[in-house]
Amino acid sequence: MASPVSRSAFRSLRNPVRRALVALALPLIAGSAFAQAWPAKPITLIVPFPPGGPTDVASRIVAQKMSVALKQNIVIDNRSGASGTVGAAAAARAPSDGYTFVMLATPTLLASHLYGPTSYDIFKNFTPVGSVYDLPIVLVVNPKSLPDVTTLQGLIAKAKAEGGKLNYTTAGAGSFGHLTTEQLKTIGKFDMQHVPYRGSAPAVTDLIGGQVPAMFSDLVAVLPHIRAEKLRAIAVGSGQRVSLLPDVKTVAEQGFPGFDATSWGGLLAPAGTPKNVIDRMSAELKTALADKQVQEKLESVGSFAAYRTPEQTGTRMRQDFERWGKVIRDNKITNQ
């Protein structure tokens, strides 16, 4: 209990001074309460792609697990459009109070190279929380259209024999499959003609139908058709073989040492989000991705749990931004 002298002294202060002291104390009190109480309400996770896609599916699997640990629902908010820039812009405008996050995917990271300046800076307006999943990319061919092509070198030989007239398709101009193929063409000194589609589904449909003979696709879109033997996988872009396709060699193993092309997703928060929130979310993300059931669910849809710290995620963002930005510039690639 305060002494009579201290009470008297405090009461002798003029009201404006007392108000100033209270004003100074309130942020400290509020900050302490926030640190203890967060999360006190549901968290919104903006997924800047449509429901059912690889980013959406991975987000829901991980969010469900994290919700249990955080004892608050993580609500998925799909805001698709323009390679994820619509959703990312919404996240950049959101309050940095720890209740809004966004799932970054490779197309969104590279969007400014393809679309020009965005309304936000992916590096200045966001803080990395951690990487979530890796999405392997796989080179597939139609076995009826290219019956003798069973390896990457076989496809390259076929492309050279065709004088650069052999077609390949992707999910769209500027898609990760497009960028990967163009880089591979440059390194391998061969040419193929790009036939872009608007999305993986129509591209895969025409690939199976024989309208186009080859495609570099994310594993999610083609895995069922590989298993049904409607498509033949001849190479994976990642640095290591994929457990779902253990017999398919990497691009690196087939004459291109060091080649590594992997699409991925990571959790970001609006810049200014309190560090204690970032640390807690990152820790819960790491725990969720270490869970065997979460790993199995992700693998069942063709993606793989791949936690990295906020610092490692930030480094990967910059490395991929610069690497694929150069591919885009060198090949004069646009989103058209």
Q: With 60 as the cut, is the pLDDT of residue 94 above it?
A: yes
pLDDT tens digit string along 158-198?
999 999 999 999 988 899 999 999 999 999 999 999 999 98
State mean pLDDT over 227-249: 96
Spatial separation of the C-alpha atoms in residues 112 and 246, rounded to whole Å: 35
Question: pTM value?
Answer: 0.84
Secondary structure of 220-268 in HEC code, one letter for each residue: HHHHHHHHCCCCEEEEECCCCCCCCCCCCCECHHHCCCCCCCEEEEEEE
CB atoms within 10 A of CB 125: 19
What pLDDT was estimated at residue 200? 87
- Cα 141 from Cα 61, distance rounded (Å): 30
Q: Which domains does the chain have, with CATH numbers?
A: 43-135+263-331 (3.40.190.150), 136-236 (3.40.190.10)
Lowest mean pLDDT among 34-38, 143-147, 287-291: 34-38
Q: Using 50, 70 and 90 to split pLDDT, how confident is the model at 18?
A: low
Is the pLDDT at 215 greater than 50? The verdict is yes
In the prediction, which pLDDT does 294 show? 98
Taking a C-beta distance cutoff of 8 angstroms, is the pair 222, 215 a contact? Answer: yes
Residue 23 has pLDDT above 80, yes or no: no
Determine the pLDDT at residue 301: 84
pLDDT of residue 302: 85
Task: Compute the average pLDDT of residues 89-108.
Answer: 97
